[in-house]
Copies of this chain bind each other. A is one copy, B any other.
């Protein structure tokens, strides 16, 4: 029997708190899970710094990747049962696409490194490019497994993730407004944070999802379930992903990595005990895939532990602030009050902090939030409902709720600064009291005024 068709004699299951069980039916999938590149995802937390705010959210990209696979598997099952293709081009589901879809689902995040968002920013890495490299480079175990299906298979799986695969149904399972990726992370993050906002009716959405010529749409009878998903997603971003303390810890992490890059670029420093030698290739942007695959969350925090003892006080302090969770404070600002920030930075310098490392601004725009916006150029952003006569209609035209949040900005802009600036008179450092007081006069009701 050919490898791709090889089904496990007895399907294997993994206990999963979100989907109850994850069903593995192909040897190929089991082999992929057992690669070292995939096992490495066990050591990379899904939510990064958000776990420092929502303490239950310590789950990893490994767990999430299995979940995305499982949802994709259920979509395929449903399509195969209810919408099997009869003649080529009829817009229905061709189950020969199942394997490429399952592999893409399982591997879509395999290029992620530790604290991706921040790491990529500082070291100019690109997890999507690395994902493609892991799939297509002959040195990886993942590639060796995929190649057993056919020589072209690794590139096919990669093209699904790159959205260039010819069958739009397969692409949209993995990447669209309602895809297996988003559905899994919303449910999973909600489960582990313990919030209720992210819950929506997955079973019902899977039931009303159906293939059509240009991809995937939803039966109109399921409009409310889809609407509920969009609202849940909106709420999760507001409540979890944009949380100011989580963003503050990202600011610290970012400044810490930047400082380390500067410090260890200096000749001589690279030989000291505790030097982050697994990071060196990244300081010069001369890393290869092997270098990248050695990194995980623990590698970074292990170096941070070393840096606690560094002679550079800023490096040591930032490492301490990150490991011991000492977030910066923040306030909101807007276009009118933006101009006050230089004055605030000056006061912070007066209080003894290097403003380059101890202040920052960011807004939730910067985060990868995908507000639903059907008018965007990207053809994937439309959610189409199929009416009983077969015509499609875009979701926001029939849902008042979705229309309300469509394409709207819903984040905020924040200025981050050391908590010490909020000290009150009773503090021991009387010296800085006037500075603190001057600083505090700029703030009211969580805003710069």
Interface on A for B, CB 8 Å cutoff? 10, 13-18, 20-21, 34-36, 39-40, 42-43, 51-52, 54-56, 58-60, 62-63, 66, 82, 191-197, 199-201, 203-204, 207, 224, 227-228, 231, 234-235, 238-239, 273-274, 277-278, 294, 296-302, 305-306, 308, 320, 323-326, 387-389, 400-401, 403-405, 408, 410, 444-446
Contacts and interface: CB of A to CB of B under 8 A. Distances in A.
A270 to B, nearest CB: 10
Q: How many copies does the complex hold?
A: 4
Given A42-B58, A294-B305, A299-B305, 8 more contacts: A15-B54, A15-B55, A15-B193, A20-B203, A36-B324, A197-B201, A199-B199, A403-B404
Contacts of A34: 324-326
Contact of A200 (B196, B308, B405, B446): B196
9 closest Cβ contacts across the A-B interface? A298-B298, A404-B404, A17-B194, A302-B302, A17-B56, A36-B324, A298-B301, A39-B324, A15-B194
Nearest to A324: B36
A278 B305 contact: yes
A228 B197 contact: yes
Given A207-B13, A301-B296, A195 B201 contact: yes
A446 B388 contact: yes
A403 B400 CA distance: 10
B20 A194 contact: yes
19 contacts: A15-B193, A15-B195, A16-B194, A34-B325, A39-B324, A42-B55, A58-B58, A196-B199, A196-B200, A197-B228, A224-B239, A228-B235, A273-B277, A298-B298, A298-B299, A298-B300, A298-B301, A389-B445, A401-B401
Contacts of A194: 15-18, 20
A224 B238 contact: yes
A320 B36 contact: yes
Contacts of A298: 43, 296-302
A274 B275 CA distance: 10
Given A56-B17, A302-B298, A302-B299, A400 B389 contact: no
Contacts of A324: 34-36, 39
Contacts of A51: 42
Contacts of A239: 224
Contacts of A18: 56, 194
B55 A14 contact: yes
Contacts of A193: 15, 17
A58 B16 CA distance: 12
A224 B21 CA distance: 17
Given A238-B224, A405-B400, A56 B16 contact: yes
A82 B444 CA distance: 24
